[in-house]
Amino acid sequence: MIKNDLLNEWIQEIQSLCNPDNIVIWQGTQKQYDELAEDCVSTGKAIRLNPKKRPNSLLFRSHPSDVARVEKRTFISTTKESDAGPTNNWISPSELKPIMTELFRNSMVGRTMYIIPYSMGPIGHEFSKIGVEITDSPYVVLNMHIMTRTGKLVIDLLNKGETFVKCLHSVGYPLKPGQIDPAWPCAPMEEKYISHFPEENMVWSYGSGYGGNALLGKKCFALRIASNQARNEGWLAEHMLILKLTDPKGEINYVTGAFPSACGKTNLAMINPSLEGWKAETCGDDIAWMRLKKDGKLYAINPENGFFGVTSGTSEKSNPVALATVKRDTIFTNAALTDDFDVWWEDLTDEVPVHLIDWQGNDWNKGSDVRPDHPNARFTAPLTNCPILAKEYEEAVPIKAILFGGRRPTTIPLIHQSFNFLHGIFIGSIMGSQITAATIDDNIGKVRRDPFAMLPFIGYNIADYVNHWVDIYKESTDALLPKIFFVNWFRKDENNKYIWPGFGENSRILKWILERTKDYANHKITPIGYVPDINRLDLRNLNITKKALDTLFKVDEKTWLKEIHSIEEYYKMYKDTLPDVLSNQLKLLKERFGF
C-alpha cells in the first residue's frame, strides 16, 4: 500500500485524466512478472521463445513506425528557452502542457494503468534516486522490471516521504468497447511527445511504446532529468560505461567511457582482454552517475539494473559475453524468429538460416535482399545474467580514467591523453563521428559532433553543462581527478581498411591508459596531447606493421588545420555563450600547432 500523500494525489490526478479501466501497483515480484508475461503471450502481444533454447524469454514486435528514439519529438520544456539551450528542442510548459493534457485525456480507456515505483541505483544507496512511472503498456512494465529496481523496498522509501521523479507514459491508443487491441499500439508520429520538465523533475511521454521513449527510467530520467539534478546538486549524470580492470599483479582499477552510437561502447564494457593475466569485468554499459567524495576523487555507480542493448552485430567474435547474457530471462524486440522459436539477427551466425519470420511477422527466405531483423532490434536482460558482472556493481567505485571516443577514419589517433582535466573537457566537447553512406544524410564525410556522447541527453543548456564540468574540476585537483583520454578504434589505411584489430586487443590500449594514470613515461608529446611511445606499447604476439602503427598514432598538421576549422564552425552554435574553458583550450591548441 502506498502511503505517500504526494504520490497518492498524483495517482488520483492521472487516473481522473487518463480514465483507465483498472489500476495495478507493481510490486516487483517474480510471480507478478510471470503472470503479466503470460498475459502478453496469450493476447498475442509477445511470443514465448523455445524454453529449451532461451528459457523465460519473450519476443515482441513493434509497429513499423515505432522502432527507435525519436529525437525530433523529444523536448526540454523550461520556462526560459535559454535554459534548454541550442542542442535541445524547446517548447514552453505553458504551451506544451495543455497540448499533452488533451492527448492524455481518456488515453487509457479500455486499458490497465500500471504504477511502477522504482529506484535508479541500489535501493537506499546515497547515489540513488527514486522514480514512479505510470504507464498503460505491459511491455514497458516488463522492461522496467528488468532495467530498474522495483518492489516493496522502494514503496517503503516512498512511504517514508522519499522524493520521486514523476514519469507519465501512455501509448496513446484508447480502446472502445469490443475493439481489438493491436499487438503494438502507438500513436501517429505527429502525436508523439517525449517531454521533460526539469524544473519539476517530471517526464511526460505520449504515443510511443519503444525503448528510450517509453522506459522513462532510462534516458529520460537517468540522463536528461538527472543531468539537471546533478547540475543543481554538484554531481554528474553521464552516458558512460563503467569497467573494472584487474592486472596480472591483482591491482584493480575502474574506468568510465563515453561513446556515441556504433562506436563499440557495449563491446568495451564486456571486453575479453587478449593480454595474458588481465581480467575485465563490467559494472555497467550505458550510464554512470558520478560524485566527488571527501577524498577529492570521483566515484561512479551504474543506476540501471539491466542491459538494453542493440542485437545487430553481436556475435561470438564481437561480444561473446553479450551472447551469454541473453541466454535466458531476456526480452527481445524486433529480432527475427527461427523455425524452432529462437531469435536471430544479422551477424549472429556465419550461416544464415534458410527460413525465418522477420521482425514484422512475415516469412523470410535466405537470399532475400531485405534483412529479417530491424537494425535497431534490442535485448533487455538483467545485469545479473552477465558472466563478467563485477561484484562491486552496486557500489560506488573510484574512477582512474575517463575515455571519450568516436568513429573517425582519419585525423584522430588510436589513443591520446589530455594534458590535464580542463583540456580533457575540451576533448569531450569536440568528440564525434564521421558521417558515412550508411546514414541518410547530405553531409557524408563531415563530422557529426556528439559532445560527451550526451548530445541527445543533456537536460539543460550545453554551455551550462560544460561549465558544470569545470565546477567539478574546481572542487578537486588534477592529481585526484581521473585522467582523460580519447580513443578511436576506427582509423583506416589508404585502402579504407580498419588498421587496429579491436575487440580483445583493445586491452593493450587499456593497459597503456592505466600506466599513464600512474604517470609512467611511456608517451610522446604532440600538439593534441600525449600519445603512446610505440616502443613502450605492449604489442606482444600482435601481428601489426610499423607502418600501420605510425598511421594509427600520426598527428598530421594539415589534417588538424581542417579539424580546427571544423571545431570553430561547430562552436558557433554557442553564439555568445561559448564557455571560457573551450575558447581557452582551442586557443592553446592553435598555439601548439603554430596556427
Residues involved in catalysis: 263
- Given a contact cutoff of 8 angstroms between Cβ atoms, the answer to whether 427 and 445 are in contact is no
- Given a contact cutoff of 8 angstroms between Cβ atoms, the answer to whether 96 and 474 are in contact is no
Residue 389 DSSP code: B
Q: Provide the H-helix boundaries in 293-359.
A: 320-325
Residue with cell 540522463: 223
Q: Provide the H-helix boundaries in 382-461.
A: 421-430
Q: Which residues pair with 280 in a beta bridge?
A: 245
- CB count in 10 Å sphere of residue 592: 15
Q: What share of the chain is helix, strand, coil (3-state, %, to 5)?
A: 30, 25, 45
Give the span between the Cα atoms of 123 and 150, in whole angstroms. Answer: 9
| Helical (H) or strand (E) element with 298 | strand 298-301
DSSP 253-273: EEEEEE--TTSSHHHHHT---
Q: Is 267 exposed, middle or buried (0-12, 13-18, 19+ CB in 10 A)?
A: buried
- Given a contact cutoff of 8 angstroms between Cβ atoms, the answer to whether 167 and 217 are in contact is yes
| SS3 of residue 504 by DSSP | helix
Give the span between the Cα atoms of 227 and 235, in whole angstroms. Answer: 8
Q: Which among 299, 143, 160 is positioned nearest to 217, based on CA atoms? A: 143
Interhelix angle for 226-233 vs 462-474, to 10°? 40
Q: Which residues pair with 254 in a beta bridge?
A: 244, 399
Give the span between the Cα atoms of 68 and 348, in whole angstroms. Answer: 21
- Which positions ≥6 away from 562 have C-beta within 8 Å? 411
